[in-house]
Chains A and B, each alone.
Chain A
Amino acid sequence: MANHRIARRNTVSVPGVAVPAPRALPLRTRAALAAGKLAAGASRRTGRGTGAVIGGRTALKLDPGALARLGQDRTVLLVTGTNGKTTTSLMLTRILSVLGSVAANSTGANMPDGLLAALTERPDAPYAVLEVDENYVPWVADRVRPAGIVLLNLSRDQLDRVGEVRSTERDLRAAVARLTDTFVVANCDDALVTSAAIEAADPLWVAAGTTWRDDSTACARCGQAVQRDEESWGCVCGLARPRPAWELRGRTLLTPEGTELPLDLQLPGRANAANAAIAVAAAARLGVQPKLATAQLRAITDVAGRYRQADVAGHQVRLLLAKNPAGWGETLPLVEGTRSVVIAVNSREADGRDMSWLWDVPFERLRGHTVVASGERATDLAVRLCYGDVPHRVEPDPLKAVAELEPGPVDLIANYTAFRTLTVRLNNG
Chain B
Amino acid sequence: MGDESTIRLGLVLPDVLGTYSDSGNATVLAKRLEWRGVSAKIVPIPFSGDVPSSLDIYLIGGGEDDAQSLAAARLRANPGVQKAAEQGAVVLAVCAGFQVLGTSFTTSDGVKHAGLGLLDVSTVPGRRRAVGEVIVKVDDGYGGQPLSGFENHLGSTTVGSTGAPLGKVTRGIGNGDGSEGAVSGHVLATYLHGPVLARNPALADLLLEWAMGSPLPPLNVDEVTELRRERLAGNRFGRRRGA
A217 in contact (CB, < 8 A): yes
Indicate if the CB atoms of A383 and B223 lie closer than 8 Å: yes
Mark out the residues of chain A between 364 and 412 whose CB falls within 8 Å of any chain B CB in the assembled complex: 376-377, 379-380, 382-389, 394
Alpha-carbon distance A353/B243, docked complex (angstroms)? 11
- What's the minimum C-beta distance from B145 to chain A, rounded to whole angstroms? 15
Indicate if the CB atoms of B193 and A379 lie closer than 8 Å: no
B24 in contact (CB, < 8 A): yes
A259 in contact (CB, < 8 A): no
Alpha-carbon distance A357/B20, docked complex (angstroms)? 7
Count residues on chain B whose CB falls below 8 Å from chain A CBs. 43
Interface string of B186-200 (1 = CB under 8 A from A): 000000011100110
- What's the minimum C-beta distance from A377 to chain B, rounded to whole angstroms? 6
Q: B230: nearest residue on chain A (CB-CB)?
A: A379
Q: B46: nearest residue on chain A (CB-CB)?
A: A225
Interface string of B206-243 (1 = CB under 8 A from A): 00000000000000010110110010000001100111
Indicate if the CB atoms of B224 and A353 lie closer than 8 Å: no
A65 in contact (CB, < 8 A): no
Indicate if the CB atoms of A347 and B226 lie closer than 8 Å: no
Known contacts A166-B66, A359-B21, A359-B27, A353 near B241 by CB under 8 Å:
yes
Indicate if the CB atoms of A356 and B227 lie closer than 8 Å: no
Indicate if the CB atoms of B221 and A166 lie closer than 8 Å: no
Alpha-carbon distance A38/B207, docked complex (angstroms)? 46
Known contacts A218-B15, A379-B223, A383-B223, A160 near B131 by CB under 8 Å:
yes
- Interface residue from A46, A223, A346, A359 paired with B24 (Cβ < 8 Å): A359
Indicate if the CB atoms of A225 and B15 lie closer than 8 Å: yes
- What's the minimum C-beta distance from A367 to chain B, rounded to whole angstroms? 14
Instruction: List the A side residues contacting B6 at CB < 8 Å.
Output: none
A177 in contact (CB, < 8 A): no
Indicate if the CB atoms of A353 and B16 lie closer than 8 Å: no
Indicate if the CB atoms of B18 and A45 lie closer than 8 Å: no
Indicate if the CB atoms of A382 and B223 lie closer than 8 Å: yes
Indicate if the CB atoms of B66 and A387 lie closer than 8 Å: no
Indicate if the CB atoms of A356 and B20 lie closer than 8 Å: yes
Known contacts A225-B15, A354-B150, A359-B195, A376 near B66 by CB under 8 Å:
no
Provide 25 A-B residue pairs closer than 8 Å at the C-beta atoms, listed in order of the A residue. Answer: A44-B243, A46-B242, A48-B128, A160-B132, A160-B152, A164-B65, A214-B15, A215-B19, A217-B15, A217-B46, A218-B67, A224-B47, A224-B48, A225-B15, A346-B237, A349-B241, A353-B238, A356-B150, A356-B195, A359-B21, A359-B23, A360-B23, A379-B226, A387-B24, A389-B31
Chain B interfacial positions (CB closer than 8 Å to A): 15-16, 18-24, 27-28, 31, 46-48, 64-67, 70, 128-129, 131-133, 150, 152, 193-195, 198-199, 221, 223-224, 226-227, 230, 237-238, 241-243
Chain A interfacial positions (CB closer than 8 Å to B): 44-48, 156, 159-161, 164, 166-167, 214-215, 217-218, 223-225, 346-349, 353-360, 376-377, 379-380, 382-389, 394
